[in-house]
Amino acid sequence: MRPVDGQLPLIWGVFMQRKSVTSSLAPVLEVRDLSKSYGALKAVESASFTLRAGQITALVGDNGAGKSTVVKMMAGALMPDAGEILVDGVLVELSDPISARRLGIETVYQDLAVLPNLDVVTNLYIGREIYRGGAGRFLRIVNRRAMMEAARVALADLDIKISSLRQSVGSLSGGQRQSVAIGRALVFASKVLIMDEPTAALGVAESAAVLRLVNYARDRGLAVLIISHILPHVIDLADQVVVMRHGRVVGVLGREETTQKRLVELIVGPESTSIHDR
Ligand SMILES: Nc1ncnc2c1ncn2[C@@H]1O[C@H](COP(=O)(O)OP(=O)(O)OP(=O)(O)O)[C@@H](O)[C@H]1O
Ligand SMILES: [Mg+2]
């Protein structure tokens, strides 16, 4: 397959991006004292942590702890009121999701953001269409065949099984839909993959398939951030766990320190733990 003017087919993109993945354990994305309020409500207050290449970081906390708000700021979907974001040690301003994507940061949001009426290929390429060469590029004529072929190769590479790429995403199972969303992010992420509760609505087998993709992303050398309420998954997967409570980071645990008991203590806080102890 020949690269189309200016826009590389997916498979080339995957190849190039793999080569550009940073060396293991280098700090890739750092947030420093990030804060965001909604009116009087301090959703996130001075949150700081670092994501490293080849590591999975889990972000945990009760409902409303501020996890999705942090993720939206890291993805350029929400501007922080205060604080700094550094990519590869350089201060960046993520004023919109496109600027985050350009820096290699891909996000799968809690509410998924797939377009159910459109088919799998279109969902994979939305905003990143491959155009035909020559005049076709100026006329913005989409090269559907190149997109189909690249999507087929990419999904096979990720071992994502979908019977027809022409199928509308709305007709897929929850797990398959989630796989399309993660697959899209994985194909385009060159540094950071962020997932907000990717297994929340899934059964056991579907969750296992998604978690396999998460491990695959780590093995590819990406810095991975996953939000999950399922503590056994967190303990199993995470190299580092960041715990939030009432908008604040109340603990950053390494793999050895991460136990269910310790996580629950940090998530619910001393007041609630002491109530249970009484
Ligand atoms: N757009 C918004 N407008 C007003 N308040 C908001 C908005 N988005 C979030 N909040 C509030 O900010 C706080 C943090 O919300 P956030 O969605 O970050 O929590 P979360 O940790 O992701 O929770 P969950 O586990 O339920 O997804 C909550 O109190 C929430 O009600
Ligand atoms: Mg959330």
> pLDDT tens digit string along 54-96?
999 999 999 999 999 999 999 999 999 999 999 999 999 999 9
Say what the pLDDT of residue 7 is.
40
Nearest residue to 187 via CA among 1, 7, 12 = 12
Using CA atoms, how far apart are residues 93 and 78, in angstroms rounded to an integer?
11
Query: Does ligand 1 lie within 6 Å of residue 65's CB atom?
Result: yes
Domain parsing of the chain, residue ranges: 10-277
Specify the residue with its C-alpha closest to ligand 1, atom 30: 64
Query: Does ligand 1 lie within 6 Å of residue 251's CB atom?
Result: no
Whether the predicted pLDDT of 22 surpasses 70: no
Say if domain 10-277 classifies as CATH 3.40.50.300. Answer: yes
75 alpha carbon – ligand 2 mean position (Å): 14
Provide the percentage of residues in the chain whose pLDDT is more than 90.
48
Using CA atoms, how far apart are residues 162 and 184, in angstroms rounded to an integer?
14
63 alpha carbon – ligand 2 mean position (Å): 7
71 alpha carbon – ligand 2 mean position (Å): 9
Whether the predicted pLDDT of 24 surpasses 70: no
Say if CB 230 and CB 199 are below 8 A apart: yes
189 alpha carbon – ligand 1 mean position (Å): 26
Nearest residue to 226 via CA among 252, 201, 193, 256 = 193
Global pTM value = 0.82
Specify the residue with its C-alpha closest to ligand 1, atom 4: 38
Both tokens of residue 59?
């972000």
Helix axes 204-219, 174-188, angle to 10 degrees: 10
Q: For residue 212, what are the contacts with CB-CB under 8 A and spacing of at least 6?
A: 159
Query: Does ligand 1 lie within 6 Å of residue 274's CB atom?
Result: no
